[in-house]
Structure 1
Amino acid sequence: MELMRTGPAGSERPVVRHDGRTYDLRPLTHDIDGAFLAGGGIDRVRGALAAGTLPETPVDGRIGAPVARPQAVICIGQNYAAHAAEMGAAPPASPVVFLKHPNTVVGPYDDVRIPRGAEKVDWEVELAVVVGRRARYLDSPDDAWEHVAGYCLSNDVSERGFQFDESGGQWSKGKCCETFNPLGPWLVPADEVHDVGALRLWSTVNGEPRQESSTRDLIFSVPYLVWHLSQYLVLEPGDVVNTGTPQGVALSGRFPYLRSGDVYEAGIEGLGEQRQSVTDE
């Protein structure tokens, strides 16, 4: 099943797609958020689908991010071996961690807006982990699985000039601009993703290939990342963890940066596809 939020920005309603049909989740919850995930929401949806108690509903045009108002968006840098190589860097010995402002999160088909003064806007297709249970000082990576609600597709948009040239040594200026984290189109429960360590990822700009890889190339796996992060911060239900991007970004020097009028598309096997038009601020 695929958990989604549909409707105008700020007024989305929760729905679920199952066996080709879409059902309204408002009899169960007002939204797909941390409280829903922590309160056994996914199991309640499964029960309602099995019982046939959810009304069918149309999708209201726009699709929003599948998780409402994440408290935190935690990101991992240089977590694909081939991406580290194209950056001229050795694979990191420990996860590189940075944060994005939660209000960077927008829908998977919303426009990406070029910030004022930006000249190096870049794309990054990523597997996103959505936290379903509080994670604090986990004992081992094996303990991480029970804290993951599910997975979705993410685009960690970056402004490389802001990120490196004007950063003062940290990356947040290039990561936190408005619209810089399209998420979705849906959230797939963790136990319905057969092998999160072997998912195909891809992206294009104006129909031309950019990224083509697999999560097999991840340096630090999903359970390792959740365990590792829990040693330094408390992961809360509804938090989003972007796990890194594969090779094929503009920063490599092989492709031009995004410009107004460009169209970016991306997908992850089993997690859907995104499409964003790039516009001026």
Structure 2
Amino acid sequence: MKKLIRRLEYKAFSSIKLPQITCSDEEIDVVLPIIKKDLTILPLCFEGIRTCVVDPIRDIYIVAPEEKEIVDFCKEHNAIFVNEKDVLRISPKDISLIIKDEKGNIMDRSGWLFQQLLKLSAKIGTCNNYLSIDADHILIVPHTFISNDNLPVFYMSSECHDAYYRNIKELIGLSKLSSLSYVAHKMIFNKTNLKELHKCIEENTRKNWIEAIIDSYDRKEGAGFSEFELYGNFVHNKILRPWKQRALTYKSLDTYGSLKKKYCKKYNSITFSAYNKG
């Protein structure tokens, strides 16, 4: 019932005619934590960023293991490579997050959580604001992320996952949450806000923010934490917009121009998730 209500709320929100947002002239960075398998869709993601991010972009950072294919991609696409081990001085092996869900499935979620910690680090890039976007997510219409009155623009979905909300309450004591979800494959982060979030987590849990997030992860949940859900609910002043996204299988892969032409009239973005190869 809760998921149905969420979908209905999203449908109502996405049908509202909202005013156009005037973009700030402040530069942002783009930060993409990836692994080698992401290189399949990443060129399309890059085209979406360079074509559809309205905000002026200073630099694009690829945060990843130091592997030749990834470093070569950065050189070819004029991106800055950052060794993922240098950001937080830990690696996925240090997290060692092995979960067993209610169906008995055993999964290693260390790398998945590690990428989220990288996004929350506030240690990448030279701009105070940086956009993080999933490597399989492709923007196909113009997106603004900072308004001219310096408010972040967050894109909302109908995602509904109770484990995320329990986790938020444990980390920062917040139980009154948004009626829609901030899990939309992209988020504009502000380093000042992130440092305040780190402080809030540490004061509430009496632990380092990284340790607190790792410890708070429900080991019975395949997805027990969301950086986007946590940060979006933490930030008070913001502009909200529907994400209007379409999930596609790999059978639909095409050139960026063809995908944009086919889907841009109805959707703002498309996603080729690895679990949805078809």
Note whether the superposition's TM-score is higher than 0.5.
no
TM-score (norm 1): 0.25
More helix by share: 2
TM-score (norm 2): 0.26
